[in-house]
Amino acid sequence: MAESDESIGENKGAGGVQPGPAIILVEPQLADNIGSVARAMLNNGLDDLRLVAPRDGWPNPDAEPMASGATLVLEKAQLFETTREAVADLNFVMAATARERDMSKRAYTPKGSAIALKLRHAPDRKTGVIFGPERSGLVNEDVILADGIIHVPLNPEFSSLNLSQAVLLVAYEWYQLGVEMPTMRTVTQSPAPSIEAREYFLDRLDKELDAAGFLFPPELAPTISKNIRNVFTRAELSDQELRTLHGVVTALLKHQSDDG
């Protein structure tokens, strides 16, 4: 069901956009909800909308009425087949999820997530937040791509949010921090790698561990792989550190080959 279009305030145009996190919607079901998300984003100065396999295809004119003038966001929206492709160029990603996960990740409130995103967002470092389908939420394969997760502390007896409400909460907290970067920022001589570069290393590591017989027994292999990925995700590796780890794997493989 489409959301109510009652308005508070006014729209003076499509300006006021500031650099900020991408909003990634995974398999959104209703074009109305995509339009509402676009509206919530532009309310808070965001315009980088990424859609992963929307159920009814894209572009979809049914999104425009609920966007209430936020056509700028809809026109710029990018379409992807998978979540991994949608976050490939980003350097730090969070996943909004209401369900408990059997994986160890840093958890944030919307306000905490906004601070964490602001600390890591820079001209040479891009961030994003992943939101799942309206009915089912994110699957573990999507959450595992994230550096942290966002939980919204609400009435435990009635805690469900619709998609645009969830986006609005996170985007609002981001916008309230203003345009100035916080002073507590990690200083590094090497930039952060893209999610694509990090996942390439983790795929390589997974492949070599499997070949070495480490991912055993087979029924536990997915859990072992997930735990290893979470270790490296929490570490927030720099690009130089990632290259060093590639070198470590290469050296170990060469040593193994020389011994053979």
**Alpha helix positions (H), the chain:** 31-43, 64-67, 71-76, 83-87, 110-120, 140-143, 163-176, 195-211, 221-235, 239-259
What token pair was written down for 229? Answer: 């990925």
The CATH number fitting domain 195-259, selected from 1.10.3470, 1.10.8, 2.60.40, 3.30.70: 1.10.8
pLDDT of residue 182: 57
- Average pLDDT score over residue span 164-169: 96
Checking if the pLDDT of 3 tops 90, the result is no
Checking if the pLDDT of 155 tops 50, the result is yes
- What CA–CA distances, in Å, run from 175 to 30, 170, 201? 26, 9, 34
The class (CATH top level) of 22-176 is alpha beta
- Which one-letter amino acid corresponds to residue 85? E
Q: What percent of the chain has pLDDT over 90?
A: 70
**pLDDT tens track for 98-145:** 776 667 788 999 999 999 999 998 888 999 999 999 888 899 999 999
CA angle 143, 147, 153 (to 5 degrees): 70
Closest to 228 in 3D by CA, of 244, 241, 215, 219: 215
Question: Domain boundaries in the chain?
Answer: 22-176, 195-259
First to last CA, the chain: 64
Give the Cα separation of 166 and 184 in Å (integer).
27
Least reliable range by pLDDT among 36-50, 95-109, 155-169, 226-240: 95-109
Closest to 146 in 3D by CA, of 170, 163, 178, 123: 170
Checking if the pLDDT of 221 tops 50, the result is yes
Please give the DSSP secondary-structure letter assigned to residue 205: H
Going 139 to 142 to 145 to 149, the CA torsion angle's sign is negative
- Edge-to-edge strands of the sheet including 106-108? 78-80, 49-52, 22-26, 127-131, 92-96, 148-150, 106-108
Tokens 């550190």 found at = 241
